[in-house]
Structure 1
Amino acid sequence: MNRPLLPNKHLPAARRAGAPTTFQVKSFGCQMNVYDGERMAEMLTAQGMNAAEENAQADLVVLNTCHIREKAVDRVYSDIGRMRYEDGTRPMIAVAGCVAQAEGGEISRRAPTVDIVVGPQAYHHLPELIGKAVRGEAALDTDMPAASKFGALPARPRQARPTAFLTIQEGCDKFCTYCVVPYTRGAEISRPCSAILDEAKALIDGGVSEVTLLGQNVNAWTGEDERGRHMGFDDLIRALADLPDLSRIRYMTSHPNDMTDGLIRAHAEVPKLMPFLHLPVQAGSDRILKAMNRNHTVESYLTIIDKMRAVRPDIAVSGDFIVGFPGESESDFEATMTLLDQVRYSMAYSFKYSPRPGTPAADMSDQISPDVMDERLQRLQARINAHQVEFNSATVGKRVPILLERVGRYPGQLIGKTPWLQSVHVTAPHAALGDVIDVDIVSAGPNSLAGEIAGRKAA
């Protein structure tokens, strides 16, 4: 019988003997971590291992970690400490991702039960590292090789859902003063166009009809076509749009400095490119943006939004905000609130500043007190939520196409996404996942919409 992990720290921690035959991959953080977790799972499956059910006993547990905020790091060590089974054994434990890259061998010293440490640019070596761990050898790989890891990964298998992530670019050259990504993911690297198209075709052949292109700075992607001619990110989008069975294209996360006029035009000219733009700004004060080394201003950011709305008036804009950056005054914060009212985001992610070791901001004076950050975050999120409700409510009474992605909680209920990334609940007993159907939006909440199949009134 499968038994869950127990939070009993007094049980012995002897690892189960032999090579693992079952695994779980637990991913935390951004969409790129989700993608990496999926690729690790596909790789382990290709090695003959079987995925264990969630919360069930597995021989190998891979913690695919995030290092953006301190709490995320603390959670990793907390999870490691809880990994004990009822029979007194523990699984083989692998720590992957950005925490592995940032802390390296310190992880095994701090948590001796960890068997494998592998960074985000080396996870294609995971099978070799498992072999080392089985033999009792040190299993650590945090190299950032120049060669792409993607060529070492197995072909994409058939997907169980109609949407999929597709990483096209990794790393960051921007060096924002609060961010660890340049140190944990390395310099900006773009995957070749041909490799991206091949992976997209494999996903489409496996049942996917929508892809979300991923990158730390996804719109910084550059490449060449089959004739060696330069391609920008907008050219890649147009090449993907030529794939006949691909219905929708999305992308994230973008940087304002890489928003070209060509990419803006693509939103007007490529019907498969959804009217949704995730464009983090982080703050509404030029003084704070300069301290963050963001290299854009509020004015230049708003100019991008104005250009986008000029060519695609229905565009939904989302963003990221950091509250309590060192030196942030009340007037700086109010400038961020003003920016919120100017843009009126359809949704936004917001966080309290978290000092990360090794980043310039961690050593800045004028660190903001937790109480002030808490109060400002509550005000910011209340404003964001109000705008989100406003955006969703404006959809009521409209007929919109939704791509059905998953089963709802009630019989016959399915959940799909509008072009603007809103979740819609609809009773559609004769529809199937992957279908695109027209629905009439009848009500809206802060996080989702309710719809009826177009032209059909509820009984």
Structure 2
Amino acid sequence: MRKAALHNLGCKVNSYETEAMQQLLENAGYEIVPFTEGADVYIINTCSVTNIADRKSRQMLHRAKKMNPGAVVVAAGCYVQAAGEELKKDEAVDLVIGNNKKTDLVTILEDYFSQNQEAEEDTVIDIGHTAEYENLSISRIGDHTRAFIKVQDGCNQFCSYCIIPYTRGRVRSRKPEEVVEEIRRLAAIGYEEAVLTGIHLSSYGMDFPMEERISLLDLIIKVHEIPQIRRIRLGSLEPRIITEEFADTLAGLKKVCPHFHLSLQSGCDATLKRMNRKYTATEYLKGCELLRKAFKNPAITTDIIVGFPGETKEEFETTREYLKKLQFYEMHVFKYSVRNGTRAADMPDQIPESVKSERSSELLALEQEMSLSYRRSHLGTETEVLMEEEYEVDGTRYMIGHTREYIKAAVPFEKGIKGTMVTGTLWKMLTNDIVFLKH
């Protein structure tokens, strides 16, 4: 029996695909072992969202070969699509497998071990010219308490800083009946929360033939009908998907969590235009207002890039004041990172690293203020928490989990409550990040 170890880099979609590849290997008779010395096969599901992600991917590949020089080291995923020819020349890498070929992992390994060299030639496809959704699926979710379900791949947006349309290809959606069947299967073994994820989730269904076309909202309604599922959470959404109909319909679906991640990137229209984001700050604000009208105190989170090429001090100030106005629950703040192969990499007026760091620090401080304020706004409310893991604060053991708004909450440690819902009142701040649940 061969031993295989897997390591994931990158997003929730990558995590899902790594889980699916592990289950393919298990079904083929491989023994899954930790990513340490002793494996016969090392599979690194790579990321290529930034140049730093590329570097981390290379480092993990070289680390695997160093741990066991005789092992087969497999590079899979986005970095393969971005730098496949370079990886084929890397002595640390034995096999490269691109996106939309991960489902063939076992066959590719078998061909390699049997020295059928001809079969290796098509392990990386031209991802930009496929309309096929890769049929990966899972039957369990490792040690997690919520089920992340990939429903969509690819992106047609071509933001000027982003390599993803080149590494993931165009929009491709999973058939709704396959999504529902997988969630039913996971619900039957105890998962009560489903998280719908994709590379550009809001585009779900737009690639289907007109007579079969359904929207993300239609899919959510189908998932809502699964009896055992008690919570539905959504991955990152495009701001323009938030219409009055969308918000009101979601609000009528009681299983949908009032927790929405709307990627912003900048609060300045001039910067948004250079980024090739297809909305204005005013349109984004309207989306947030619609959600806050439809839901009671929903959690709205976002992504911000600071130091984008050409971002003046005035543009940054515009963004900062805009963020204060919107009052997010959480903000993920990123310093702009040059990504070779994108339009932004060749733009003039690249911002010095020191300026990026200064702006990032300012927004991170603002994020902490807003996040604490949002948690405090929920004190005194009754809620339910999905218990997820043990945690220790000042020597005291707790079980912690998340509310429907994704506020982290804690109860005194109890055996056997992991994966269950606990109802109580958000009573007081245990730490700046965790609320104590009185139950």
Judge same fold: TM > 0.5, yes or no: yes
Question: 2: CA distance between counterparts of 1:81 and 1:239?
Answer: 44
Alignment of 1:234-245 (within 5 A): 234-245=217-228
Aligned residue number for residue 289 of structure 2: 306
Counterpart-to-counterpart distance in 2, 1:384 and 1:230: 39
TM-score by structure 1 length?
0.88
Q: Give 3-state SS (helix, strand or coil) of 1:272's partner.
A: coil
Change (3 A) 1:231 1:337: same
Q: CA deviation at 1:256?
A: 1.4
Return the letter of the residue paired with 1:246.
I
Structure 2 letter corresponding to 1:433: K
Which residue number corresponds to residue 194 of structure 1? 177
How many angstroms apart in 2 are the aligned matches of 1:30 and 1:319?
15
The equivalent residue for 1:24 is: 5
Question: Do structure 1's residue 182 and structure 2's residue 165 form an aligned pair?
Answer: yes
Contact 2:132 2:172 in 1 (8 A): no
Which of 224, 238, 249 does residue 255 from structure 1 map onto? 238
1:130 matches 2:115: no
Which 5+ residue runs of structure 2 have no aligned equivalent? Answer: none
Cα distance change, pair 181–154 in 1 and its aligned pair in 2 (3 A)? closer
- Separation in structure 2 between the aligned mates of residue 419 and residue 298 of structure 1, nearest angstrom: 27
Per the alignment, do residues 224 and 172 of structure 1 end up closer, same or farther by CA in structure 2, a change over 3 Å counting? closer
Q: Cα RMSD between the aligned structures?
A: 2.3
Give deviations 1:266-324, integer Å, cap 9, x for gaps.
33101100000000110011001000110100000000111111111311000001111
Of residues 419, 422, 431 in structure 2, which corresponds to 1:445? 431
Q: In structure 1, what is the Cα distance between the partners aligned to 2:390 and 2:25?
A: 27
Deviation for aligned residue 1:181: 0.9
CA distance in 1, matches of 2:416, 2:355: 50
Structure with the higher fraction of residues in helix conformation:
2
Q: Partners of 2:37 and 2:63 in 1: how far apart?
A: 14
In 2, Cα distance between equivalents of 1:236 and 1:369:
44
Would the alpha carbon gap of residues 187 and 229 (structure 1) be closer, same or farther in structure 2, given more than 3 Å must change? Answer: closer
Q: How does 1:145-224 map to 2 (within 5 A)?
A: 145-150=130-135, 153=136, 156-157=139-140, 160-222=143-205
Contact 1:393 1:444 (C-alpha < 8 Å) held by counterparts: no
Q: Distance in 2 between matches of 1:382 and 1:411?
A: 28
- Tell whether the 8 Å contact from 1:405 to 1:434 is kept in structure 2 after alignment: yes
| Paired position in structure 2 for 1:334 | 317
2:57 corresponds, among 56, 76, 79, to 76
Residue type of the partner of 1:59?
D
How far did residue 241 of structure 1 move?
0.8
* Structure-2 residue corresponding to 1:91: 71
- 1:272 maps to 255
Report the equivalent of 1:425: 410
User: Shift of residue 335 of structure 1?
Assistant: 1.2
* Unmatched segments (≥5 aa) in structure 1: 1-19, 455-459
Tell whether the 8 Å contact from 2:205 to 2:215 is kept in structure 1 after alignment: yes
1:121 aligns with 2:100: yes
2:29 aligns with one of 18, 36, 48: 48
Shift of 1:445: 3.1
- 1:60 equivalent in alignment to 2:41: yes
* TM-score (norm. length: structure 2): 0.92
1:400-439 superposed matches below 5 A: 400-409=383-392, 413-429=398-414, 431-439=416-424
The aligned amino acid for 2:111 is K
Whether 1:142 aligns to 2:121 is no
Deviation at 1:77, TM superposition (A): 1.7
- 1:357 deviates by 1.5
Q: 3-state DSSP class of the match of 2:64?
A: coil
Aligned length: 429
The percent identity for this pair of structures is: 27
